[in-house]
Chains A and B, each alone.
Chain A
């Protein structure tokens, strides 16, 4: 036997079926969007993590000044650090053909054992009619002080 309150609920819902359907659709779409957005965020997070893992991109970049190479050993000893790599970076002004004024460049040293695929992109340099190989004269504070700056990059152990 149907309770009178259940009967009232059913009849009231049937009487306002248009509104009830519209509310159900809005709630359904809301849930759908929530599920889609959650899946999208999870997918992007996993893609980012996979990308970082595949290309061994550092999780931490720590700019240091006047840091000798032995600092790298201290950094490797920190628990959770999987790898540490040091680079020398510095700003420089270089003369490029076709440019009336010197171009501002960011000089970054390459690792000792350069791997294929790890070379820097030179599309910007190519746009300026340069190519790898030739040397350029430049005015750089970094080049004059080999131990002047030594950015250390590190990555966590997986």
Chain B
């Protein structure tokens, strides 16, 4: 496993041996909500390695622990027990400030319902992130990456659902994250628009080299992933490696 993180200039710097190709490694990761008879076991000891630069799809029924794993790996939630490492840095024991730096400098999030600021234009929504990132993309460049170069000054209410989700992706990508977490990114979209969003995510993975982790119910999405993790009842049921991911345009659901 990698060496411990070294903090420099208020930023969490992660030092990892070149031979260590894992973005994430978890061991016995457990998450329990509540206590006693009413306790809900969202994760029941998850052991997982996620290689860097891969597109990973997490599949499983509702309540199987996919989003909980995503939230813990993304620094939005804390595990009850077990270990979760990002390039050698232990996430489960990080302070709140260190987790904030981790989220700010290393990961991007895309949610099912976009979470855009309604009173800001597409460009300004992306600028919210580029203002606090160390080495961000230009907002117009990030929006061009998702095909919205002609919609820079439109407000979310003037954009379709798919366009809003692409703005959300541009916002997540603009800070050049090493990992992009997507929680049901196509859940609120029709299949055609969803396919366009998946194509954008595939492009981001290919062009920026970011590890992309997608939580979804759509089993067909598995065809475009390098690695598919099947969840059931808080455990990993199966991990499938796809040697030849399909283009997002060919996916049907």
A-side residues, CB < 8 A to B, are 3-5, 7-8, 11-12, 15
Contacts and interface: CB of A to CB of B under 8 A. Distances in A.
Q: Which of B117, B119, B124, B131 has the largest number of chain A CB atoms within 10 A?
A: B119
A8 B128 CA distance: 10
A100 B120 CA distance: 90
Contacts of A5: 128
| A3, A8, A15: residue with the most chain B Cβ atoms closer than 10 Å | A8
Max chain B C-beta neighbours (<10 A), residue from A4, A7, A12, A15: A4
Which size class do B's interface residues fall under?
under 10
Nearest to B127: A4
Given A7-B119, A11-B119, A11-B120, 18 more contacts: A3-B127, A3-B131, A4-B117, A4-B120, A4-B124, A4-B125, A4-B127, A4-B128, A4-B131, A5-B128, A7-B120, A7-B124, A8-B117, A8-B119, A8-B120, A8-B124, A12-B119, A15-B119
Interface in B121-158: 124-125, 127-128, 131
A48 to B, nearest CB: 55
Contacts of B124: 4, 7-8
Nearest to A7: B124
The 4 A-B residue pairs with the shortest CB-CB distance, nearest first, are: A4-B124, A11-B119, A4-B127, A4-B128
Contacts of A15: 119
Contacts of A12: 119
Contacts of B119: 7-8, 11-12, 15
Contacts of A11: 119-120
Contacts of A3: 127, 131
A64 B132 CA distance: 78
A108 to B, nearest CB: 77
Contacts of B128: 4-5
A19 to B, nearest CB: 15
